[in-house]
Amino acid sequence: MREHALFTYRFNLGHIERLVKDLTDEQMVGQPNGVVNHPAWTLRHLASSSNYLATTLGLESTTPAEWDQGGSPGGAPSGNAADYPTKAELLAALKAQHERVDAAVSNADPELFAKDAAEEARSYFPKVGDLIDYMLTAHEGTHIGQISAWRRAMGLKPTAGE
């Protein structure tokens, strides 16, 4: 089953890259018609979330602390491009997190997946494997849908696969 979730995780990264390929750094923070979760916030959030997953898999944290704080659910995204790294930096960080999570999941001891999840996640994900599967698939899929809806609110053309 791991290979199926990893396939989706890899597919998600490609989909995200296609969704933001034509955007400028200024467009990345647009908040049309009250849509506040713009691509800059979303990419930072996804990189931070993958970093969290990496730490769950026993790796060191590699995202800046302000990314983790500013990208947390319920955070208020800023419409100022200067408050975010560039699109290129965000994509590079997300890709780097994907690569290390992919390798860690691929090489993880199967017993890890049966362990209890961390206390803060356990009410949603009883086991580490539950958290990993969600983060590799549904979590990013949710945000892909948000970026797709954001593109339409911005009046942009859909991308391939939208």
Write down the domain spans for the chain: 2-153
- CA pair distance 134, 97, nearest whole angstrom: 16
Helix-helix angle 2-20:87-107, to 10 degrees: 170
List Cα–Cα distances, 19 to 12, 129, 140, in angstroms: 10, 28, 13
Instruction: Write out the two tokens for 104.
Output: 């860690």
pTM for the whole structure: 0.93
pLDDT at 71: 57
Does the domain at residues 2-153 carry the CATH identifier 3.40.50.10190? no
Report the alpha-carbon angle 149-84-28, nearest 5: 30
Alpha helices in the chain (DSSP H): 2-20, 39-56, 65-70, 87-107, 110-113, 128-134, 140-153
Instruction: Write out the two tokens for 110.
Output: 């199967």
pLDDT at 88: 98
- CA pair distance 30, 138, nearest whole angstrom: 24
Per-residue model confidence as pLDDT tens for the chain (162 residues): 689 999 999 999 999 999 999 999 999 999 999 888 999 999 999 999 999 999 999 999 999 888 876 555 666 799 999 999 999 999 999 999 999 999 999 999 999 999 999 999 999 999 999 999 999 999 999 999 999 999 999 999 888 666
